[in-house]
Amino acid sequence: MIIKTPLTKEQKDFIKKHQISEDVLIDANGEAMSDDLIQRMLETEKVIAYNVSGCSENSDYNFTDIDGVFVQAETDRIPFALRTYKTGYIYIAGSKKNHLIKVGSSNEVKDRIKTLNIATSKSGSIDDWELIFQAKTETLGKVERMFQQKLSEYKSSAQYEKGKLQNGGELYRCSYNKAKDAMTAAEGEEQFEFTQINEKKHMISEYLFKNLRVKTETANS
């Protein structure tokens, strides 16, 4: 879709700073995020909308991802959005020490697992990640989003990245089979296509952890 409204200087500076191509933008023309805008983003394969209204935090913020989050406020969501239609590997790894399953993405899975173990060992935390499953996809970000949605109730509260405690968006307190079932369901429901599938079946039995749902806080807690 051709961009209708020319970008302002501030908008150009923002997309340049965060390496966002104009090709992935869709003009919301001052609309708030809506089902209609989401549908247009899906149909045109655009991952960030601009000139979106309705940000309560800052009226100058007008870039959102497909989830309606204003990325000027949460810039860490930009790389994730830009991966939506990228080709890469989705992987499932497990930690026996911590009974955790990690779902992640990378251009090269083996290097990613090595990096995880080196980084986390420095903090004295999770250093025993083992790669159990990997598959190639041409819609990396969409697959990541699917996993996050289907496994959200098992999301862990924390993860270790570069030796620092961070939000556990990719860590889950569930069994390997639960994570794999999410992918299998997506193949049918969303018609995702996976190639170069590699599953270490001999390791699966060691990663059949309990499926522990996130405890929700109540007013009396």
Work out the pLDDT band at 120, boundaries 50, 70, 90: low
Instruction: State the Cα angle at 163 between 160 and 169, rounded to 5°.
Output: 20
Asked whether residue 1 is domain-assigned, the answer is no
Dist. CA 33–CA 93, nearest whole Å: 35
Asked whether residue 36 is domain-assigned, the answer is yes
H or E element in which residue 48 lies: strand 48-50
Q: Do residues 31 and 117 share a domain?
A: no
Q: Do residues 71 and 95 share a domain?
A: no
Q: Which is more confidently placed, 218 or 47?
A: 47
pLDDT tens track for 45-77 = 999 999 999 999 999 999 999 999 999 999 999
Which pLDDT value is given to residue 71?
97
Work out the pLDDT band at 187, boundaries 50, 70, 90: confident
DSSP-derived 3-state class of residue 161: strand
Q: Which is more confidently placed, 145 or 111?
A: 145
DSSP-derived 3-state class of residue 53: strand
Domain boundary among 46, 75, 104: 75
Asked whether residue 81 is domain-assigned, the answer is no
Work out the pLDDT band at 193, boundaries 50, 70, 90: confident
Which pLDDT value is given to residue 104?
85
Q: What is the mean pLDDT of the chain?
A: 85
Which pLDDT value is given to residue 92?
93
Which pLDDT value is given to residue 145?
86
Domain boundary among 47, 75, 103: 75
Q: Do residues 58 and 113 share a domain?
A: no
Q: Do residues 25 and 113 share a domain?
A: no
Work out the pLDDT band at 215, boundaries 50, 70, 90: confident
Domain that holds residue 112: 88-207
Dist. CA 41–CA 24, nearest whole Å: 9
Dist. CA 195–CA 208, nearest whole Å: 25
Q: Do residues 95 and 202 share a domain?
A: yes
Asked whether residue 155 is domain-assigned, the answer is yes
Q: Do residues 32 and 96 share a domain?
A: no
132-160 mean pLDDT: 86
Q: Do residues 67 and 108 share a domain?
A: no
Asked whether residue 55 is domain-assigned, the answer is yes
Asked whether residue 221 is domain-assigned, the answer is no
Q: Do residues 50 and 144 share a domain?
A: no
Asked whether residue 44 is domain-assigned, the answer is yes
Q: Do residues 24 and 46 share a domain?
A: yes
Q: Do residues 62 and 169 share a domain?
A: no
Is this prediction's pTM over 0.85?
Answer: no
Q: Is the pLDDT at 112 greater than 90, yes or no?
A: no
Q: Do residues 96 and 203 share a domain?
A: yes
Instruction: State the Cα angle at 207 between 203 and 209, rounded to 5°.
Output: 160
Asked whether residue 135 is domain-assigned, the answer is yes
Domain total for the chain? 2
Q: Do residues 121 and 186 share a domain?
A: yes
Question: Cβ neighbours of residue 79 under 8 Å, at least 6 residues apart?
Answer: none
Domain boundary among 25, 54, 75: 75
